[in-house]
A = this chain, B = another copy of it.
Amino acid sequence: MNRTAEARMPVQVSVDVVLLTLVEQELHTVLLRRAAAPFAGVWALPGGYIHAEEDADAKASAARVLKTKVGIEGAYLEQLATFSGPARDPRGWSVAIAYCALLPMQNLPPQSVDISVLPVSALPQLPFDHRAILEAALERVRSKSLYSSLPVHLCGETFTLPQLQQVYENILGEPLNKVSFRRKMDEMDWLEAVPGARQSGAAHRPAQLYRVKPAFRQELALSPRGL
């Protein structure tokens, strides 16, 4: 057997990142204008080749892409799936390890001629198989929002329960029962009230501010029976 022949035809490996945020009650994604061919000048998902010399793994590559090409750090990052085949990139057989990233809107960089934040319901045509990658990200985020704390990564440091419920509702696209939602948050036990902190300024009873308990900052909390 002839292993060198097997490995001879080169396969390009890149990472692509679906960076999602919530702007005015709707999921938005960040697109970059491609600098180089193919598809130069076209809006596309942030992505890039793996740098074997510096990246500890593909997730680190994705974090580096977000830092150097979008200018953000600290986003929640989760591997989505790997897309592959001879046709997805005109340069030949390629592999893209896709990641999903969540970030609160206020941590996003300002838009520019090369950085755009668009609602996922009204995106331009995307190059490669980026449309399929984006759909996979949306499905993943929506399905995990049914039974986990994932959506909290779209909120800031502190938030009120009504705000958090709105985030869930915006992702899921349907209203949730207030009493059930609060019961679930209570029994999942991953939030703590910020002592003495209340939302102020509104012409009604102020809401208690909450934050994620330290043990759950890097990890999702799961609810066994959903919601």
The chain A residues found within 8 Å of chain B, CB to CB, are 1, 3, 6-7, 9-13, 35-36, 48-53, 56-58, 79, 81-82, 84-86, 92-93, 95, 97, 225-226
- The answer to whether residues A52 and B86 also contact, given A95-B95, A225-B226 and a CB cut-off of 8 A, is yes
- The answer to whether residues A58 and B36 also contact, given A11-B50, A97-B95, A225-B226 and a CB cut-off of 8 A, is no
**A48 to B6 Cα, complex, angstroms:** 9
From B3, B35, B52, B57, give the contact of A36 (CB < 8 A): B3
Asked whether B79 lies within 8 Å of A82 as measured between CB atoms, the reply is yes
**A56 to B149 Cα, complex, angstroms:** 37
Q: In the complex, which residue of chain B has the Cβ closest to the Cβ of A88?
A: B57
Q: For residue A95, which residues in chain B have a CB less than 8 angstroms away from its CB?
A: 13, 50, 58, 95, 97
Q: For residue A93, which residues in chain B have a CB less than 8 angstroms away from its CB?
A: 50, 52
Asked whether A52 lies within 8 Å of B11 as measured between CB atoms, the reply is yes
Asked whether A12 lies within 8 Å of B3 as measured between CB atoms, the reply is no
| A128, chain B: closest CB distance, angstroms | 14
Q: For residue A11, which residues in chain B have a CB less than 8 angstroms away from its CB?
A: 13, 50, 52
Q: For residue A50, which residues in chain B have a CB less than 8 angstroms away from its CB?
A: 11, 84, 93, 95
| A147, chain B: closest CB distance, angstroms | 9
Asked whether A58 lies within 8 Å of B35 as measured between CB atoms, the reply is no
| A194, chain B: closest CB distance, angstroms | 33
**A87 to B133 Cα, complex, angstroms:** 28
**A85 to B93 Cα, complex, angstroms:** 21
Asked whether B82 lies within 8 Å of A58 as measured between CB atoms, the reply is yes
**A1 to B69 Cα, complex, angstroms:** 12
Q: For residue A1, which residues in chain B have a CB less than 8 angstroms away from its CB?
A: 35-36
Asked whether B49 lies within 8 Å of A7 as measured between CB atoms, the reply is yes
| A199, chain B: closest CB distance, angstroms | 34
Q: For residue A36, which residues in chain B have a CB less than 8 angstroms away from its CB?
A: 1, 3
Q: In the complex, which residue of chain B has the Cβ closest to the Cβ of A53?
A: B9
Q: For residue A84, which residues in chain B have a CB less than 8 angstroms away from its CB?
A: 50, 57-58, 97
Q: For residue A82, which residues in chain B have a CB less than 8 angstroms away from its CB?
A: 58, 79, 82, 97
